[in-house]
Structure 1
């Protein structure tokens, strides 16, 4: 509600506006709604180019570690890609693989191992982190690009995987005031999780490969990802869909230049010290 004043010598004087009408003037209240700030997801996608830190900078640093996360933040990133699996007792951890062998040297199947065991494992640059740890470190107004590995690669009716996805959606509701404004749901073309994410208001990012484009329904997803060095014909097909596009996976400035020259609007960067937002 606005309170109008008349500027006058000696101080502003409150005034009451009236609407002239038959039967007498009627006082009116001014109620002008403020303009809401754009959602962080929309702000990110409006940048040209926009940048996402792949696996929290997972080529330059051990993937899904706070070391990589902090380096990406220092490099100016405002969007962070996080792959996750759920432990047996319901903790979502940063991991691209369904076992811990590659990153820790010790073999545990994540879905069948409790967090109490997982948290004792050491990666090259420290312990495995939880989704909550990454979210807590995110700068205000930044964006999480989330890859739920159990359902992002293929369509699945596996009860455990679908339950894990539902629990992840519920967790996001507790981690963000308005998760649809802060989270992009990442998946691949064979997955059907995009509809479930869209039903909750999330924008979806599909990471495509050249051989998939001809048969893909590009209207399904909000953001289209493609290999940076795919042919111009492939890139032109994606651009014709009128959606934001992102080139993956970028590890050096030459690859970044190639992706942008093809028409990519954004870059999925895995080396924060080399391919990162330009600070103003």
Structure 2
């Protein structure tokens, strides 16, 4: 702590045997009042009588001749009673001198930051004086405390005529210059002067030995005391930590903790589960079971002060993505000790949500007929894998059997993505077949990348898809070659299973009949085309304004993409089976991509 003089001093200017010292204004509990007094006639056997509560530093200096001088430095620790007395009126003390009257100047001032239990960090001994001469030098002495404050008292008799002046070297600051008789100059009387100087010291050691110089002097003297600073109050540290959880484990970091007046010496971590505490600025802990636990950090600084903070953390079993189907599965992870750690299992496959929520996702991906590049297109397995690989939605093309069942079938009106025991396939028209007949056919051996003839990949009933994934959204529905006579029936199914908040009506850009029927029921519509056909078979200027969203092949040129983008509508690129194709479409301005290989465009292949 730093010792500092406070407020303004009070002065004593008298020629008497006693001095009334008035307390400086604004005293506060824990401060000291430092008093400096000098007397013209200090008898060899005489000494000051101090009022109660006052203590003198050292002993007075006595010159046993005609020019006797008595100096005193004393202090009083301010109490709450003093503060109350000052608030009620004037607070003062009387200091008496038994051997008669004399010129008696004095000075009292408040000091803060002093060790009130032991304020004396060293004082001068011998208090030298001389009968004549204009200067006196302070004798050296040892200061036993760091950051002490040196107070120097210098006394002199100035014979008439005289000037009220004094100076000191060694970087001292003059705190007061008091005369037994006020007046800057006096040509008629002899006066006794008191000069006070102060200086902030550094590390303990020898005190400065300043010289005080008077304009003219007889009987000058000098003495001093070093005021010991109070021990600094240790400010408590400020704890702070971050945490992150993975599975049943938490990792904590308290590097954000601070101590404004020192350093943090230790960190204690209470994990909140009755286990052994952790230590160190960083620590980790693994809980035995999922749940929410209160982690408490206690930090201790280099002064022994402590402080704590706490926060809840939630841990849970590690999460695994599992393909579900058939019987219930149990999923375990092996731990480091060779045991089994249960994990929570959740399914993926709800998609991005509403069409509006889909558009909010930058670079969304629609699965074309599910995951048609890797799986049999339009199969439940293909849809499942597309969703597991992160598809934001699914697009399906529909066909209708003769008995009114809508099922997933790509391209034209035929079962041309299957074999009927004949290599190379055959052509059957499902519009003339019942659903039972269609179910007898298999798509399996048509594909060679992943699918095989076993197990079977039957055609996917549209209603069965909606039942298998009741929360899947959004879904694009394309009636392909289904006659417009049945558009109302398709829209009825869409209305009954989520309506415009779930489905988007999709068709080739020239499919204005389907577009009109869907818009009449409040559905968003997507019309796709090809860059090579712009301005020829696809009259974009006439057709594009009628669709809510547009589609363009990822292989189209940038100029062709610019034509599509100029209509100010979301443009979806189609059909990408690789990350390179996805990136190409996105770089040309696509809002999202229709992907035949979801796992490829997501970078899983």
TM range (shorter): 0.7 to 0.9
Q: Name the structure 2 match of 1:166.
A: 488
Query: How far 1:138 sits from its partner (Å)?
Result: 2.9
Per-residue CA deviations over 1:117-173 (Å, capped at 9, x if unaligned) read 11121221511111112222336252111110125xxxxxxxxx1222121111222
Are residue 101 (structure 1) and residue 427 (structure 2) matched? no
Q: Name the structure 2 match of 1:123.
A: 443
Are residue 259 (structure 1) and residue 585 (structure 2) matched? yes
1:1-280 equivalences under 5 Å are: 40-96=354-410, 97-105=412-420, 107-124=427-444, 125-138=456-469, 140=471, 142-150=473-481, 161-174=483-496, 176=497, 178-192=498-512, 193-214=514-535, 215-216=539-540, 217=542, 218-276=544-602
What secondary structure is seen at the aligned counterpart in 2 of 1:77?
A: coil
Query: How far 1:98 sits from its partner (Å)?
Result: 1.1
8 Å Cα contact 2:370-2:395 kept in structure 1: yes
8 Å Cα contact 1:87-1:115 kept in structure 2: yes
What secondary structure is seen at the aligned counterpart in 2 of 1:248?
A: strand
Query: 204-213 or 221-230: which moved more?
Result: 204-213
8 Å Cα contact 1:44-1:50 kept in structure 2: yes
8 Å Cα contact 2:473-2:503 kept in structure 1: no
8 Å Cα contact 1:51-1:277 kept in structure 2: no
Q: Distance in 1 between matches of 2:519 and 2:369?
A: 23
Q: Distance in 1 between matches of 2:386 and 2:372?
A: 10
Query: How far 1:54 sits from its partner (Å)?
Result: 0.5
Query: How far 1:48 sits from its partner (Å)?
Result: 0.8
Q: Name the structure 1 match of 2:100.
A: none
Query: 161-170 or 82-91: which moved more?
Result: 161-170
Residues 249 and 224 of structure 1: is their aligned pair in 2 closer, same or farther, counting only changes over 3 Å? same
Name the structure with the higher strand share.
2
Name the structure with the higher helix share.
1
Q: Distance in 2 between matches of 1:114 and 1:237?
A: 44
Task: Give ranges in structure 1 of 5+ residues lacking alignment.
Answer: 1-37, 152-160
What secondary structure is seen at the aligned counterpart in 1 of 2:594?
A: strand
Q: Distance in 2 between matches of 1:92 and 1:265?
A: 30
Aligned-residue Cα RMSD (Å) equals 2.0
Residues 94 and 182 of structure 1: is their aligned pair in 2 closer, same or farther, counting only changes over 3 Å? same
Q: Which has the higher contact order (CA 8 A, sep 6+)?
A: 1
Q: Distance in 2 between matches of 1:250 and 1:186?
A: 17
Query: 161-170 or 264-273: which moved more?
Result: 161-170
8 Å Cα contact 2:390-2:602 kept in structure 1: yes
What secondary structure is seen at the aligned counterpart in 2 of 1:267?
A: strand
What secondary structure is seen at the aligned counterpart in 1 of 2:377?
A: coil
Q: Distance in 1 between matches of 2:484 and 2:440?
A: 27
Structure number, greater radius of gyration: 2
8 Å Cα contact 2:394-2:475 kept in structure 1: yes
Query: How far 1:241 sits from its partner (Å)?
Result: 1.2
Q: Distance in 1 between matches of 2:408 and 2:366?
A: 16
Task: Give ranges in structure 2 of 5+ residues lacking alignment.
Answer: 1-351, 421-425, 445-455
Q: Distance in 1 between matches of 2:353 and 2:601?
A: 25
8 Å Cα contact 2:441-2:458 kept in structure 1: yes
What secondary structure is seen at the aligned counterpart in 2 of 1:73?
A: helix
Q: Distance in 2 between matches of 1:75 and 1:85?
A: 26
Residues 48 and 201 of structure 1: is their aligned pair in 2 closer, same or farther, counting only changes over 3 Å? same
